[in-house]
Amino acid sequence: MAETNKDAPVADAAMAPYWEAARDGRLLLGHCRSCDRCYYYPRPLCPFCLGDETGWREASGAGTVYSWSVERRGKPPYIIAFVTLAEGPTILSNLVDCEPEAVAIGQHVTLAFETREEQPVPVFRPA
Amino acid sequence: MSIKGKAFIAGIYEHPTRKAEGISLQQLHAEVARGALADAGLTLADVDAYFCAGDAPGLGGFSMAEYLGLNVRHTDTTETGGSSYLIHVSHAAQAIAAGKCKVALITLAGKPRTGGAPPGRPPMAVQPPDLPFEAPFKPTVLNNYAMCARRHMHEFGTTSEQLAWIKVAASQHAQHNPHAMLRDVVTVEDVVNSPVVADPLHRLDCCVVSDGGGALVVVAPEIAASLARPQVRVIGAGEAIKHTNGGDIDITYSAGVWSAARAFDEAGIARSDIKYASLYDSFTITVLMQLEDIGFCAKGEGGRFVADGGLISGVGRLPFNTDGGGLCNNHPGNRGGMTKILEAVRQLRGEAHPAVQVANCDLALAHGTGGYLGTRHGSATLILERV
């Protein structure tokens, strides 16, 4: 049996539109038509009502830093952050293309994509 | 149905090892089980319920029940990370109150320093659903808690110096514990001048990594009355889970807000009645947020509460973690909930080190946060009374 990366995501058919959009440089959020509310991470049943009247909303890409830390043990060190999107949800990501000394809570950031293990994922850089 | 007064903690044991070379994980479980039963004055044959969490090798409770030679009629393998054992006491009290068992054994062991089973990792038969949306960004336990500290500083003006006081208090206590990994007293300057590992947390804001374990025996009132040990009664318990809530988050508080309220409601006592508190201390920020969430001070006031020795036994208003806690003593298997209960029981029995023993300690609290403070975690609160 071939060795597998135990942390590699298992394919989830319901999430295929999310990953297809990521390859186009677009970030999709879950959206519940009953609640009229966006949520993240996406899932087919709404985390606020467990209803299945759900779909997708594309994020504008605008956000602000909610909190952040520099992982000094990283080689190289990297910035992890919670970013609050203009659409409401706060999501975990990395801040890129900026020095730790320049980061502040409330700072405006904008969406970008970086490829991690052959998969484009949403990161943020200073706006 | 309330569990108030329905169960007693009759036996406790903390493994003295901090580096278990040549001792298997299962042997550690067996040694702490034997120690807690001996402390209670009970035998293997008396045990009719077994509780363990994800640190126990094998499948659920089967494998360790077999290894230990247990024949039980009740089992519970509730898994909430490091807070699991606090919930086990609560669930044992529920089971005793419901007549399902009379003598419940709870064990924890871990070997993060010397290998063996993966330390502190819950059994994940399948991947957690958050994984594809978080793992690419290399989140760690450390940077997760660090983001809570950062946000707390931003909203309430909490400082690194205030957080450092928590480590100072733990070190003041640990100097009296011959088993503690870190027995040197440290100062605020020592903490804030130690290397930054994940801004704004420093190396000395973090707990130790240790092997070891502990065990508890929770019994029915009539069993407790028949034993020669001091009687420590469970009078309140609460548990709660907090998560990312679809992205609508506030990481300045933990699920302890809910678990503590439930425990105090059940116990029917005030926060100010508590003479001693064992508080999960994976990091200094964990202690500070829990103090606020439990209600020992208002949200945002934690920094002022802990400063100037506020948590030092004999000095401050609320003695905490008088064994040195996870910050200085041990954190077996990266799971600190068990040792929190052990020291609370010692305090209630009057068996803490004389230098840190709280006078007339009749009411104590033990509280834990398992998992990840900034994303998803399980909090548990226990209130214990010396009869």
Q: Place A2 in a pLDDT band, splitting at 50, 70 and 90.
A: very low
Of A9, A94, A100, the CB nearest to B137: A94
- Residue B131 in any domain: the answer is no
Could you tell me the residue range of the domain that residue B92 belongs to? 8-123+211-233
pTM (2 d.p.): 0.95
Q: Does A93 touch chain B (CB under 8 A)?
A: yes
Residues of chain B found within 8 Å of residue A85, distances taken between Cβ atoms: 247
Mean residue pLDDT of chain B comes to 96
Kindly report, residue by residue over B302-328, the tens digit of the pLDDT: 999 999 999 999 999 999 999 999 999
- Residue B363 in any domain: the answer is yes
- Residue B3 in any domain: the answer is no
- Residue B2 in any domain: the answer is no
Give φ, ψ of B100 to 5 degrees.
Answer: -85, -20
ipTM over 0.90? The verdict is yes
Looking at the structure, do residues B69 and B160 belong to the same domain, yes or no? no
Residue A3: its pLDDT value, please?
A: 44
Whether B119 shows a pLDDT value over 70: the answer reads: no
Whether B104 shows a pLDDT value over 70: the answer reads: yes
Looking at the structure, do residues B146 and B167 belong to the same domain, yes or no? yes
Residue B59: its pLDDT value, please?
A: 87
Mean predicted confidence (pLDDT) in B220-245: 97
Residue B85: its pLDDT value, please?
A: 98
Comparing CA positions, the residue from A123, A59, A84, A18 lying closest to residue B137 is: A123
Looking at the structure, do residues B359 and B241 belong to the same domain, yes or no? yes
Looking at the structure, do residues B43 and B119 belong to the same domain, yes or no? yes
Looking at the structure, do residues B149 and B227 belong to the same domain, yes or no? no
Looking at the structure, do residues B29 and B173 belong to the same domain, yes or no? no
Q: Which CATH architecture has domain A13-126?
A: Beta Barrel (2.40)
Mean predicted confidence (pLDDT) in A57-78: 96
Does A73 contact B142 at a Cβ distance shorter than 8 Å?
yes
Percent of chain B with pLDDT over 90: 96
Does B148 contact A67 at a Cβ distance shorter than 8 Å?
yes
Looking at the structure, do residues B103 and B156 belong to the same domain, yes or no? no
Query: Crossing angle of helices B84-97/B337-349, nearest 10°?
Result: 60
- Gap between the Cα atoms of A70 and A107, Å rounded: 16
Of B150, B197, B247, the CB nearest to A91: B247
Looking at the structure, do residues B318 and B222 belong to the same domain, yes or no? no
- Residue B270 in any domain: the answer is yes
Q: Place B120 in a pLDDT band, splitting at 50, 70 and 90.
A: very low
**CATH number of the domain enclosing B179:** 3.40.47.10
Residue A8: its pLDDT value, please?
A: 58
Kindly report, residue by residue over A38-47, the tens digit of the pLDDT: 999 999 999 9
Residues of chain B found within 8 Å of residue A72, distances taken between Cβ atoms: 195-199
Kindly report, residue by residue over B342-362, the tens digit of the pLDDT: 999 999 999 999 999 999 999
Looking at the structure, do residues B42 and B159 belong to the same domain, yes or no? no
Looking at the structure, do residues B248 and B358 belong to the same domain, yes or no? yes
Looking at the structure, do residues B115 and B176 belong to the same domain, yes or no? no
Does A12 or B342 have the greater pLDDT score? B342
Does B88 or A6 have the greater pLDDT score? B88
Of A30, A42, A89, the CB nearest to B248: A89
In total, how many domains does chain B have?
2
Q: Place B116 in a pLDDT band, splitting at 50, 70 and 90.
A: low
In sequence order, what are the residues at sequence separation of 6 or more whose Cβ sits closer than 8 angstroms to the Cβ of residue B185?
A: B168, B171, B172, B175
Looking at the structure, do residues B151 and B281 belong to the same domain, yes or no? yes
Comparing CA positions, the residue from A117, A32, A82 lying closest to residue B151 is: A82
Kindly report, residue by residue over B26-48, the tens digit of the pLDDT: 999 999 999 999 999 999 999 99
Residue B379: its pLDDT value, please?
A: 98
Residue B45: its pLDDT value, please?
A: 97
Residue B1: its pLDDT value, please?
A: 82
Kindly report, residue by residue over B151-188, the tens digit of the pLDDT: 999 999 999 999 999 999 999 999 999 999 999 999 99
From chain B, which residues contact A within 8 Å (Cβ)?
126-127, 129-140, 142-143, 146-148, 150-151, 154, 195-201, 244-249, 251, 374-375
